[in-house]
Structure 1
Amino acid sequence: MTTPRHSFLPPLHDSPGSDRPTAGPDRRDGAVYVADDDLRLAVDVALATGRPLLLRGDPGSGKSSLAGYLARNLGRRYYEHVVTARTTARDLLWTFDPVRKLADASVRDAGGADALRDLDYVEPGVLWWAFDRASARRRGTGPEPRRPAREPDDDLNAHRGEQGAVVLIDEIDKADPDLPNGLLVPLGSGEFVVTETGDLISATVPEADGPASNHLIVVTTNEERELPPAFLRRCVVVTLPPPGLDRLVAIAHAHVALDGVTGDGVTDTDDLLFRDLATRVLTAREEARTRGRRPPSTAEYLDAVHACRRLGLAEDVPDRARLLALVLDKSP
């Protein structure tokens, strides 16, 4: 596949940059990612249409890491919400704390205190921050709150653009189907109403010659539960296949190049290590599938790579094999 003639993505690069780097295979700092042309095209389509990008794939295949990488390369703010079985669609838009309001009401000076206002107990969710950063800080469109809302990852997002954001909604399949169904209207229209205050929150309008939306929504699923057909129709859907030998090695090269632990860079010995571990992981993957168990992930492969380098086992083949056996998850 060739690169699209017009792309909203700048040339993607792996670099620690000025943002704080983190170590490990599941990097949320966006410093490194190996993206192929098909995935880049899918991202461009999501940007061109304003539709969410839904990533399918095995756990540890790099679904969650992509959002931070895109935010970094696009210069956009980054927000994430990890979904649980208790998450509702409204949690991604806003939450309201009636318990704290009741507690404040019970202790305030009835004779002299200002009346309690609902807006002071509204907490903006990640989609609100993405749609309209200014009103999220103010907890609405009305009067100034007693205290501004604190932006998620404010130290990171302080250096990012005002008008654009990437939002990661991670593991959406863990929630009840009401969650994706409840997001259809806010994601489709780019607006919602805060029930307690009546504020209409609308997404900022993009520039005419830019992407269709100032926010890119990246949704991941491990396929633990089927998603509603209506939600799937609204998304650009991509399945991330398990990487083969060459891709695993390329991923290891990209991560180790930014690791900086040994100070020696990536050597020929490292390359042999990457290939040997990748071959062993692929063999373990096939054995796991034959036995009906979960296959090892890219994240476990990278753990083995980093552990071998940190422990000086790059040239010790027997110990390397024993280390890999400890790192790989053997659970069913």
Structure 2
Amino acid sequence: MNVPLDATALASAQEEPFVHPALFYRGSDEYLAGCLSFVREGLAAGEPVAVAVPGPNLALLRAELGGDAERVRMLDMTRAGRNPGRIIPGVLRAFADAHPDGHVRIIGEPIWAGRSEVEYPACAQHEALINLAFTGRDVTILCPYDVGALSPEVLADAEVTHPVVVDGDGRWRDSPAYDPDRVINGYNRPLPPPPDHAAQITGDVNTLGAARRWARAHADAAGLDEQRIVDVELVVTELLANSIRHGGGAATLRAWTDGGALVCEVTDRGHLSDPLAGRRPAPSGQAGGRGLLLVHHLSDLVRVHTTPDATTIRVYLHP
């Protein structure tokens, strides 16, 4: 039987305190109805509330909230979450960890009609990984999906990555398709091959400096400014260092441009067995464990394909 959405009631009705509903909306009226009720319930209860959605939707919510918008942490997801891999540590965990006492509410909309086919697999995996990252936490993360603009395949994936679906009338239902591992593993696919003109070198512990200079040269040739060139150097250095430590001691590095972005790829003989690697904030005082976190933070997109025999990490960096 359907009942009105109430995140607190839903959490109390199940043993797991983490609640992760998908909001299926059509048009601005349904969007505002679903999101505003969620935000206002939280504010009325004195709960910390954050909203991370694309800019136009953020403007809609801000206008409707009026003065209450000042009580909500509001982020443009097209910026904060351009790379889906940095949403968990940089948006969701950053807010939840800042409010460790009591229930926390977050609206996160990482998938919108403008997402490219290259980005989407990382977006879907992100939605699935939220369940692993927040199990046991007293947090509700509501994820809106525009049913009028997104494909049936995207909506079907949303039913797999969310245990609860909220329909446009504001009522929720359990999702029988819920199985986040299916999306995590299903989108762990071989990446499209690099173009024939991609530059390639082999890196190991003796060639870290040369690899850094190689990365700088390709970033400069791609027209990136000095700050982004430094970002590329750091990303390639961290990926190669990770391959040296965990991937058999050496890696193949490739670079090319794609639609204005510099694409860098590192392939080694390691296996990335932890799907949340690079998505957990590093505890204060911990030595190491920040390499992949930094890669996600600096990159505009990170795609991964891993098997027991090899791992490829491909990063996109825009000017």
TM-score normalized with structure 1 length: 0.25
Highest relative contact order (Cα 8 Å, sep 6+), 1 or 2?
Answer: 1
TM-score normalized with structure 2 length: 0.26
Q: Where is the strand percentage greater, Structure 1 or Structure 2?
A: 2
Q: Which structure has the larger Rg over C-alpha atoms?
A: 1
